């Protein structure tokens, strides 16, 4: 499979504070990567750095062979980065459908297909974004990112703060995306148990560095390395 | 108790007069709501346009509609240039008040320098023609203003609702950072919107030249009532601005017919306060 | 010459002609050139803001009069220098500027500002420092309670009684004398004051007032008011208007296909009303017009001609001298006569001289020994005839061959 994303020597942070140092990893087309780690180790910073909303101190980022490290967020979105931010940040004053169509780019992910993935959004299409529940907002945030027809989908703690039944629904949708649609993605998650079954590979961050890397299947079979690095039994 | 004819006539006059409030409010509401810039110079631009229509009409005998065809695109350009300054100096909401206030003062002084402080009146044959409907008279010019304002409000509303650019603008107004991360080029859109707002000032100015008093200090005559209209109509909502304008115009006129004309200036703010207290869902 | 508004640079050319150099600039007027240290006369005018329209006429009249005075013998043989500041049409600004003129600029004399509110503000300051203040545009004489304030315009001490009767006298000569009158007025104090007087005097003389309405100054829409006037349909419409309010009202009436039978306007902008199609036969208050018999008054022809030239150069749309501009002319005439008559720049002596003597002004002979230092009332009625204002009442002062036309 062809290489989609290549990160090397990446140092980044906010303002003058360096959060990530010397990050390097690769992602293949159609591959789903879990980014694990405790609170405050730089998982969100990694996602934000790929989106382009952090301060970059060094290193390179290339998407499908194209260097994107110097690009503004607008350019990276056009190059194929689809972002589902941790706070969801949906446009509250726009309707559900407008949230999707306001940013839509041509491609295979049409409004109908997005509604197909999240039927609840179709039911709520005319409602304002601000009136949605947390889970619906998360679905909308994912739908909105898909509307960009991205090559790479970045999800930052997609299950945080949601009811278990909603989490189930979300994970089913993500599994479908990654497994059936072969969408390439990076999922930041504190709880490894939720995300390992839907991803191909996992990296563990600690204090701004990658400290461990393995296939998701292997980690599911043997949780010991996770316990070592995360101090938990896989959450 | 006033007669039904009087009430009906007052209502017609008021609604039509409210069209000008709505028209003036639209540009202001767009830039305030979608760019987070409170453009006080909007009124000065409208009066600049009005003076130009007056000048071309009285000295060169150019029909106001032809003048508008020249002036409105020029206003668009001024709006774009203005936004270039806002962009260059990274002006925020509060600073925009100050800067556009200064800009308005400069325009006021400029107008006074060229046209003097004296009252100007553009005499046209349009000004006083009316249609008769039963016992009521409908002034054609005011009606035209309302229809133009209505068409602009609808058009702009649809544009914001249904086009990619419109939705992107609204998204960027709410969260420019996130919108940028979704590929929305907020800056380019902001120039467009700023130009459109100023062009609307040009259209409003064309009508001001035909129906109102021209004097430099008159720039500020509409400030209070139009701000009330912008807020009642919801920021960034052109249709709301127009409807609020019609509402305020009608309320003022009914107050003048039923109570005393001196009550009129109190009406706009009373309606504003009443609506803020009522706090309906659509606000 | 202090000119605060930098944008008024164009006027500086004219302003430069004031002050000490004025005699050289106007050799035609030169008789005994005043010499020595200039006498500095300070004042404010509303060069900007909502009163700026009329203040500009006063400014031009001042420019002319300073040239005139300096072309004669100046004040006590010394040239006059006018220190003019812009009060922005705001009383509080006028107040602090007069304070500054008196205490910081240390002017020798002061001249009044324009319009009732700034005049009242300036009068308070003048009183504190005992300065004589001559003003021409306070329409409510009873507010002039300071004994060293003098009116240059012949309102008389009770214009709210005398002037309505002048109008009622004129109305009584109509072929069908009006029996009812609608009174509409701005709440601008001097207009409202006259409107209340008009109502009282009309009712006293048996003219019914079926509708009396007040509107806020700056009223934008006259549609509803016009509908009420149309419905009342009185024989006479009296409007206490300022600026273009009368034009807007008459247009609103025409939109309702209604033409008032006879209509009077208190303080409208004269130019626009005269040229408007709706202004035909409109009646209006005045004290003087550039016609006989007034043109025969000393200096009037020269001043009117010079005014026309300067006003046209300043790009004024209606460059004809009117009662407003003449008010400022009279202010300077009174100041010149009083200073030279008293032989002193001391305010006490100037005030005493004014109370005892009469002054020849452009408005005729003025006296200041009545209530509130006012003298005789001399208000006239003018009418738009063939798009020009002509004095029509009282008959003996009507323009040659012109008669009051009733409809």
Taking 70 as the threshold, does the pLDDT of residue C8 lie above it? no
Which chains touch B (3+ CB pairs under 8 A)? A, C
Tokens of A97: 């459908």
Residues C135-188 have pLDDT tens digits of 998 999 999 999 999 999 999 999 999 999 999 999 999 999 999 999 999 999
Distance CA B251, CA A73 (A): 48
Walk across the sheet containing A81-84 and list its strands: A81-84, A152-156, A184-189, A32-36, A201-206, A209-215
Tell whether B80 is within 8 A of chain C (Cβ). no
* Pick from C57, C68, C56: nearest CA to C22: C68
- The residue of chain A nearest to residue B234, with distances taken between CA atoms, is A93
Sequence ranges of the domains in chain B: 4-278
Tell me if C223 and B260 make a contact (CB, 8 A cut-off): no
Is A227 a residue whose pLDDT tops 70?
yes
Report the alpha-carbon distance of residue B52 to residue B66 in Å, rounded. Answer: 12
**Least confident among A178-182, B152-156, C16-20, C252-256:** C16-20
Question: Chain C contact for B130, CB < 8 A?
Answer: yes
Give me C21's structure tokens.
């150099």
Size of interface A-B (CB pairs under 8 A): 64
Backbone φ, ψ for residue C283 (5° rounding): -100, 155
Q: Which two tokens stand for residue B162?
A: 């249904």
Q: Is residue A187 part of a domain?
A: yes
Instruction: Grade residue B57 by pLDDT with cuts at 50, 70 and 90.
Output: very high
Contact of C188 with C242, CB cutoff 8 Å? yes
Contact at 8 Å (CB) between C316 and C56? yes
B124-131 own/partner pairs: CB under 8 Å, 24+ apart: B124/B57, B124/B64, B124/B210, B126/B64, B126/B210, B127/B210, B127/B211, B127/C251, B128/C251, B128/C254, B128/C255, B128/C277, B128/C278, B129/C255, B130/C255, B130/C256, B130/C257
Smallest CA–CA distance, residue B252 to chain A, in Å, is 32
Q: Is residue C3 pLDDT above 90, yes or no?
A: no
- pLDDT at site C217: 83
Does the pLDDT at position C10 exceed 70? Answer: no
Whether A95 is in a domain gets the answer no
pLDDT of residue C21: 40
Six-digit token string for C365: 């002979």
Q: pLDDT tens digits, residue range A161-171? A: 899 999 999 99
Percent residues over pLDDT 90 in chain C: 79
Residue B63: phi and psi, rounded to 5, are -60, 140
Task: State what percent of residues in chain C have pLDDT above 70.
Answer: 92
C6-154+292-373: CATH number: 3.40.50.2300
* DSSP letter assigned to residue A203: E
- Annotated domain spans of chain C: 6-154+292-373, 159-286+380-397
Say whether the ipTM exceeds 0.85: yes
Q: Tell me if C317 and B118 make a contact (CB, 8 A cut-off).
A: yes
Report the gap between the CA of B55 and the closest CA in chain A (Å). Answer: 43
Instruction: List subunits contacting chain C, requiring 3 or more Cβ pairs under 8 Å.
Output: B
CA distance A223 to chain B (A): 36
Most confident of A226-235, C198-207, C217-226: C198-207
Q: What pLDDT was estimated at residue C14?
A: 37
The strand pairing partners of C384, in sequence order, are: C389
- Which tens digits make up the pLDDT trace of C340-364? 999 999 999 999 999 999 999 999 9
Are residues C221 and B253, on separate chains, in Cβ contact within 8 Å? yes
Q: Which CATH superfamily is domain C159-286+380-397 in?
A: Response regulator (3.40.50.2300)
| pLDDT confidence of residue B1 | 67
Q: What is the pLDDT of residues C260-276, one digit of tens each?
A: 989 999 999 888 899 88
Cβ of C55 and B256 within 8 Å? no
Residue of B nearest to C215 (CA): B262
Instruction: Give the pLDDT of residue C6.
Output: 36
Instruction: Classify A199 as helix, strand or coil.
Output: coil
Cβ-defined contact of B13 to C252 (cutoff 8 Å): yes
pLDDT band at A191 (very low <50, low <70, confident <90, very high): confident
Any idea what the CATH number is for the domain that residue A22 is in? 3.40.50.300
Residues B158-198: tens digit of each pLDDT = 999 999 899 999 999 899 889 999 988 888 889 999 999 99
A33 domain-assigned: yes
Q: How far is C7 from chain B (nearest CA, A)?
A: 7
Least CB-CB distance to B13: which of C187, C227, C257? C227
What is the structure's pLDDT at C11? 39
A62-95 pLDDT tens trace:
999 999 999 999 999 999 999 999 999 999 989 9
CA distance linking residue B220 with residue B223, whole number of Å? 5
Average pLDDT in chain C = 89
**What's the rounded Cα separation, in Å, for the pair A134 and A166?**
9
Q: Does domain B4-278 have CATH number 1.20.950?
A: no
Task: Give domain status of residue A115, yes or no.
Answer: no
**C88 contact residues in B (CB cutoff 8 A):** none
> Which pLDDT value is given to residue A224?
86
Q: Enumerate the H helices of C26-144 as residue ranges.
A: 52-71, 91-103, 116-129
In this complex, the residue of A83, A93, A144 whose CB is nearest that of residue B174 is A93
The count of structural domains within chain A is: 1
Contact B167 A102 (CB under 8 A): yes
Domain that holds residue A180: 3-80+151-230
């Amino acid at each position: 499979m062809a290489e989609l994303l290549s990160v090397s020597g990446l140092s980044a942070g906010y303002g003058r504070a360096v959060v990530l140092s010397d990050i390097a990893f690769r992602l293949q087309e159609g591959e789903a990567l879990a980014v694990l780690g405790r609170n405050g180790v730089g998982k969100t910073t990694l996602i934000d750095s790929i989106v382009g909303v952090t301060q970059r101190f060094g290193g390179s980022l290339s998407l499908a062979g194209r260097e994107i490290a110097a690009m503004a967020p607008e350019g990276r979105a056009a190059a194929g980065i689809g972002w589902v931010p941790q706070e969801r940040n949906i446009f509250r004053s726009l309707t559900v459908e407008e949230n999707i169509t306001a940013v839509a780019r041509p491609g295979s992910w049409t409004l109908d297909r997005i509604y197909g993935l999240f039927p609840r959004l179709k039911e709520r299409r005319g409602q304002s974004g601000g009136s949605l529940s947390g889970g619906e907002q998360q679905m909308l945030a994912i739908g909105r990112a898909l509307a960009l027809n991205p090559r790479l989908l970045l999800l930052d703690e997609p299950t945080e703060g949601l009811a278990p039944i909603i989490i189930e629904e979300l994970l089913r949708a993500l599994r479908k995306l990654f497994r059936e649609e072969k969408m390439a993605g990076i999922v930041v998650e504190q709880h490894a148990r939720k995300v390992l079954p839907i991803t191909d590979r996992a990296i563990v961050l600690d204090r701004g560095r990658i400290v461990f890397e393995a296939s998701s299947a292997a980690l599911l079979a043997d949780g010991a390395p996770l316990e070592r690095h995360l101090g938990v039994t896989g959450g | 108790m006033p007669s039904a004819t009087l009430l009906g006539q007052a209502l017609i006059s008021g609604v039509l007069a409210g069209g000008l409030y709505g028209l003036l409010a639209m540009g202001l509401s767009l830039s305030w709501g979608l760019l987070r810039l409170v453009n006080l110079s909007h009124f000065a631009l409208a009066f600049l346009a009005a003076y130009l229509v007056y000048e071309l009409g009285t000295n060169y005998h150019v029909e106001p509609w032809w003048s508008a065809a020249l002036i409105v695109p020029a206003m668009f350009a001024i709006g774009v240039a203005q936004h270039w300054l806002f962009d260059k100096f990274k002006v925020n909401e509060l600073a925009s008040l100050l800067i556009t206030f200064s800009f308005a003062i400069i325009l006021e002084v400029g107008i006074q320098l060229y046209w003097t402080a004296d009252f100007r009146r553009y005499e046209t044959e349009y000004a006083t023609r009316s249609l008769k409907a039963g016992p009521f008279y409908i002034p054609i010019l005011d009606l035209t203003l309302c229809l133009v304002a209505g068409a602009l409000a609808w058009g702009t509303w649809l544009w914001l609702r249904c086009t990619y650019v419109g939705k992107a603008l609204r998204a960027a107004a709410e969260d420019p950072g996130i919108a940028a991360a979704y590929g929305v080029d907020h800056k380019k859109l902001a120039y467009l919107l700023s130009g459109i707002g100023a062009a609307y000032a040009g259209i409003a100015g064309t009508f001001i030249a035909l129906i109102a008093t021209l004097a430099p200090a008159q720039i500020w005559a509409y400030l209070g009532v139009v701000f009330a209209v912008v807020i009642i109509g919801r920021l960034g909502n052109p249709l709301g601005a127009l409807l609020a304008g019609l509402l305020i115009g009608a309320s003022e006129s009914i107050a003048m017919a039923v109570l005393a004309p001196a009550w009129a200036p109190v009406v706009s703010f009373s309606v504003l306060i009443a609506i803020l207290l009522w706090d309906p869902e659509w606000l | 010459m202090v000119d605060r508004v930098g944008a008024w640079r164009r006027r500086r050319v004219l302003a430069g002609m004031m002050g000490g150099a004025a005699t050289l600039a106007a050799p035609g007027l030169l008789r005994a050139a005043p010499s020595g240290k200039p006498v500095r006369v300070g004042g404010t005018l509303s060069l900007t803001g909502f009163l700026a329209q009329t203040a500009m006429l006063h400014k031009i009249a001042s420019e002319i009069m300073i040239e005139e005075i300096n072309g004669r013998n100046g004040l006590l043989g010394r040239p006059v220098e006018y220190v003019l500041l812009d009060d922005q049409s705001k009383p509080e600004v006028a107040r602090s500027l007069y304070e500054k003129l008196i205490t910081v600029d240390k002017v020798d004399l002061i001249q009044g500002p324009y319009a009732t509110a700034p005049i009242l503000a300036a009068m308070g300051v003048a009183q504190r420092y005992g300065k004589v203040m001559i003003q021409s545009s306070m329409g409510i004489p009873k507010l002039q309670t300071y004994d060293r304030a003098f009116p240059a315009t012949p309102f008389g001490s009770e214009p709210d009684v005398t002037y309505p009767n002048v109008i009622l006298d004129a109305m009584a000569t109509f072929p069908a004398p009006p029996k009812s009158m609608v009174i509409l007025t701005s709440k601008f104090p001097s207009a409202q004051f006259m409107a209340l007087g008009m109502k009282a005097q009309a009712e006293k003389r048996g003219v019914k007032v079926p509708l009396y309405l007040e509107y806020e100054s700056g009223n934008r829409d006259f549609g509803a008011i016009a509908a009420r006037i149309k419905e009342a349909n009185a024989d006479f419409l009296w409007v206490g208007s300022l600026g273009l309010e009368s034009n807007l009202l008459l247009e609103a009436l025409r939109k309702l296909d209604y033409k008032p039978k006879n209509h009077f306007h208190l303080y409208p902008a004269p130019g626009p009303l005269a040229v408007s199609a709706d202004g035909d036969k409109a009646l209006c208050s005045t004290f003087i017009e550039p016609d006989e018999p007034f043109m025969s008054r000393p200096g009037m022809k020269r001043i009117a001609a010079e005014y026309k030239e300067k006003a046209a150069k300043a790009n004024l749309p209606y460059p004809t001298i009117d009662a407003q501009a003449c008010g400022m002319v009279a202010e300077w005439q009174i100041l010149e006569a009083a200073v030279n008559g008293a032989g002193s720049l001391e305010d006490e002596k100037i005030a005493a001289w004014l109370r005892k003597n009469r002054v020849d002004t452009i408005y005729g002979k003025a006296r200041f020994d009545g209530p509130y230092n006012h003298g005789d009332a001399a208000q006239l009625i003018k009418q738009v005839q063939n798009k020009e204002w002509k004095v029509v009442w009282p008959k003996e002062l009507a323009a040659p061959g012109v008669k009051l036309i009733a409809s």
